Amino acid sequence: MTPELGQLALILALLLALAQGVLPLIGAWRGNRALMAVARPAAAGQAVFVAMAFGILVWAFLHFDFSVQYVAANSNLELPWYYRIAAVWGAHEGSLLLWILILNVWTVALAAFSQKLPEVFASRVLAVMGLVAVGFLLFTLLTSDPFGRLLPMPGDGADLNPVLQDPGMTFHPPVLYMGYVGFSVAFAFSIAGLLGGEMEQAWVRWARPWTNMAWGFLTCGIVAGSWWAYAELGWGGWWFWDPVENASFMPWLVGLALIHAQAITEKRGSLRAWTILLSIFAFSLSLLGTFLVRSGVLTSVHAFASDPRRGVFILAFLTIVVGGSLLLYALRAPKVVGGKPFQVLSRETAMLIGNLMFAVAAAMVLLGTLFPLLADALNLGKISVGPPYFGLLFPLLMLPVVLLMPFGPFLRWNKGDPAVLKQVLLRAGIAAVACAIVAAFFVNGQLKAIAGVATLVWLGAGVLLYMIKRWREAPAGRRYPAEMAGMLLAHLGMGVFVAGVLLSNSLSVTRDVRMAPGQTQHIGGYDFRFDGAQRTTGPNWRADQGLITVTRDGESVAVMKPQKRTYPRGQVQTESAVDAGFTRDLYVALGEPMDANNIEGAWSMRLYYKPFIRWIWGGGLLMMLGGFTAAADKRFRIKRSAVDAPTEKLILQENNA
């Protein structure tokens, strides 16, 4: 009976979402306060019912209710409880429900923190969120019901895909969705702004912390996903340019552009149309990502079951949401050129170049991701562009960004001072070159590795120089406001990330070996000794577990236990052993026994020495932290007085062009 209650809760949530999406819009249009007041209670009610539905699904998993088809397909009696919870979002229907739940978390937060916004504006924003929820609730109820029954009820279920049975998987999707869905807030702000024709810079300021938060979550989600792929897939790679990874990377790039564009719009009033367009794009790409993953239009290692009906529904939804908002943009985007003018040498220009690069990079990734589809359309056969395409173009596009980044903070709005820039160029440049020369001796002249060190020092020096400048020039207590601290953290994170990528890429050692017990391999200064393999068992798997002792100059460094697990439904899954370190990772993946009947004999295995790979995720985490820190700036807290006071009117010029 309970699963049917879940379905009922979703239907009620849909009705409330409809109320939340339609009535406040009418109210805002007619100036009817009663209708506008519907927004908040409807949002709260919707959230309660969605949470109830989600809770019921979790409960069904925890209590092995295999009469629910989704539960039977994704869990079994042997699956430990924590993976049974993770199994809720282990497949299509449940992850959609999670999507909706998180959309509701954002909506409720928005409803709570928008109390001081002008009522008309706030109700429009909440209404847009409601309309997005309507689309997703309809999608769930019509094509992807998680509460469908299975008769007769099986005694035991199938299994959660063993690839997903990893701690990283339990929190990768929720965090990633926090990011994806978070862009709906910036989107809602933009649509509300377009609908109401508000030209004030104020709404961009209100939107900024939300964008930063969403971007921070997205960064964290991507980092977690990358880490999971590294630890779980056993290939030692951390990024594969897989369509699903690209789907999360495109909104990330556009979100990054949006963060910077919003800063310009808020502080200088310029680029307003571009900011609106970017916030539409960021959310559209999140939706597009959902479409690409769910519709089966592209095949990927993240194989979710595809169903043409779902594809058609999402395409229709996508067309309405994105097409509609772009049409609205065409009709209502600021027709007036506003804001203060700026010269060529200014912070605006630098940020614009960055913006352009991120937008082009996102377009490049989109093109690469859709290329197989294009090739099909043009009858070119089954072609996909992989790492060669992305690996060449992406660094090229990011090069100007990295080169310009240290100057950004030093450039003033409107007009930069060439003398200051020269000083930065000189100091950071000398530091970078000096460190690169020193590094060259350590890395045997590997160009990529040298470039990695130079980039880190170049960006790090930029951050450091700016911190020193602020320390000297600004009064104590006002030296590093949160917004600026966040920016510095994120920029430093970029340096750490690039250094990690280039160093690990060029200095890694991989070796496929056949090892008999007692044999030793020497890699990257470490001795890997194979001490044989044996059988072991876990809560729901059996495994052959290798024992590898790593020593360096005779001193013990690590004991590693890579496994080859067999799950109850016969799926085989490699569990690599990773010895993590600040400057290097050691990584062992178990292959096959040379003689299948004698696991105590020799094994094929793959050994990796990966220097500085952890810096890739460290850089990502710094960027995330930067996003969150900037969002916490006091400047973004809405004061009632600031809103009620006559908003600072901009000098608007009619655009006659």
Partner 1 sequence: MSRLLPFFGFMLLAGLFGFGIWWNTQHDPREVPSPLINKPAPAFNLPRLDDPTQTVSKASLLGKPYLLNVFASWCIACAEEHPTLMAEGSQLGILLLGYDYKDAPDDAKNWLREHGNPYGEVITDRSGRTAIDFGVYGAPESFLIDAKGVIRYKHIGPLTPEVIAKKLQPAIAALKKETP
Indicate the DSSP class of residue 638: P
Tokens (6 digits) for 652: 């608007």
Task: Give residues with Cβ within 8 angstroms of 498, minimum separation 6.
Answer: 402, 452, 455, 456, 459, 619
Q: What are phi and psi of 442, to 5 degrees?
A: -80, -25
Residue 183 Cβ, how far from partner 1 at the closest point, in Å?
16
Residue (595 or 644) nearer to partner 1, CB: 595
Residue (368 or 486) nearer to partner 1, CB: 368
Residue 277 Cβ, how far from partner 1 at the closest point, in Å?
6
The candidate with the shortest Cα–Cα distance to 136, out of 246, 50, 221, 210, is 50
Residue 328 Cβ, how far from partner 1 at the closest point, in Å?
9
Give 307-314's long-range contacts (Cβ < 8 A, gap of 24+).
307/143, 309/143, 310/92, 310/139, 310/143, 310/144, 313/138, 313/139, 313/142, 313/143, 314/139, 314/287, 314/290
Residue (151 or 378) nearer to partner 1, CB: 378
Residue (392 or 596) nearer to partner 1, CB: 596
Residue (372 or 500) nearer to partner 1, CB: 372
CA 282/CA 271 separation, integer angstroms: 16
Cα angle: 33, vertex 37, 38; to 5 degrees: 125
SS percent in the chain: helix, strand, coil, step 5: 65, 10, 25
Residue 316 Cβ, how far from partner 1 at the closest point, in Å?
9
Residue 259 Cβ, how far from partner 1 at the closest point, in Å?
20
Residue 308 Cβ, how far from partner 1 at the closest point, in Å?
5
Residue (306 or 551) nearer to partner 1, CB: 306
> Tokens 């996003």 correspond to what residue?
627
Residue 596 Cβ, how far from partner 1 at the closest point, in Å?
5
Tokens (6 digits) for 355: 């913006």
Provide the 3-class DSSP secondary structure of residue 66: coil
Task: Give residues with Cβ within 8 angstroms of 566, minimum separation 6.
Answer: 541, 542, 543, 572, 573
Q: Which residues of 482-492 are buried (b: 16+ CB within 10 A; e: fewer)?
A: bbbbbbbbbbb
Residue 322 Cβ, how far from partner 1 at the closest point, in Å?
5
CA 362/CA 355 separation, integer angstroms: 11
Residue (76 or 455) nearer to partner 1, CB: 76
CA 184/CA 286 separation, integer angstroms: 9
Residue 327 Cβ, how far from partner 1 at the closest point, in Å?
5
Give 541-544's long-range contacts (Cβ < 8 A, gap of 24+).
541/162, 541/565, 541/566, 541/567, 541/568, 541/573, 542/566, 543/575, 544/590, 544/593, 544/599
Residue (58 or 333) nearer to partner 1, CB: 333
Residue 185 Cβ, how far from partner 1 at the closest point, in Å?
21
Tokens (6 digits) for 554: 């005779």
Residue 270 Cβ, how far from partner 1 at the closest point, in Å?
17
Residue (255 or 408) nearer to partner 1, CB: 255
CA 597/CA 82 separation, integer angstroms: 34
Runs of H (alpha helix) within 233-346: 243-268, 272-295, 308-318, 324-332
H or E element in which residue 8 lies:
helix 2-30
Residue 246 Cβ, how far from partner 1 at the closest point, in Å?
15
Report CA-CA distances (Å) from 496 to 14, 452, 453, 622: 45, 9, 9, 9
Residue (69 or 123) nearer to partner 1, CB: 69
H or E element in which residue 82 lies:
helix 81-86
Q: What are phi and psi of 563, to 5 degrees?
A: -130, 155
Residue 523 Cβ, how far from partner 1 at the closest point, in Å?
27
Residue (367 or 580) nearer to partner 1, CB: 367
Report CA-CA distances (Å) from 409 to 266, 413, 467, 490: 16, 10, 10, 12
Residue 550 Cβ, how far from partner 1 at the closest point, in Å?
29
Tokens (6 digits) for 249: 């990377």
Residue 298 Cβ, how far from partner 1 at the closest point, in Å?
8
Residue (111 or 298) nearer to partner 1, CB: 298
Residue 593 Cβ, how far from partner 1 at the closest point, in Å?
9
Residue (344 or 377) nearer to partner 1, CB: 377
Residue (374 or 433) nearer to partner 1, CB: 374
Is 158 in contact with 87 (CB distance < 8 Å)?
Answer: no
| Cis omega (within 30 of 0) for bond into 3 | no
| Count of positions (residues) in the chain | 657
Residue (296 or 395) nearer to partner 1, CB: 296
CA 289/CA 283 separation, integer angstroms: 10
Residue 484 Cβ, how far from partner 1 at the closest point, in Å?
32
Residue (68 or 322) nearer to partner 1, CB: 322
Tokens (6 digits) for 303: 């194989």
Going by DSSP bridges, is the β-strand pair 542-552/563-566 parallel, antiparallel, or unpaired? Answer: antiparallel
Is 56 in contact with 19 (CB distance < 8 Å)?
Answer: no
The site for partner 1 (CB under 8 A) is made up of: 158, 273, 277, 280, 284, 291, 295-299, 306, 308, 311-312, 315, 318-319, 322-323, 326-327, 329-330, 333, 370, 373-374, 376-377, 382, 569-571, 592, 596
Residue (448 or 569) nearer to partner 1, CB: 569
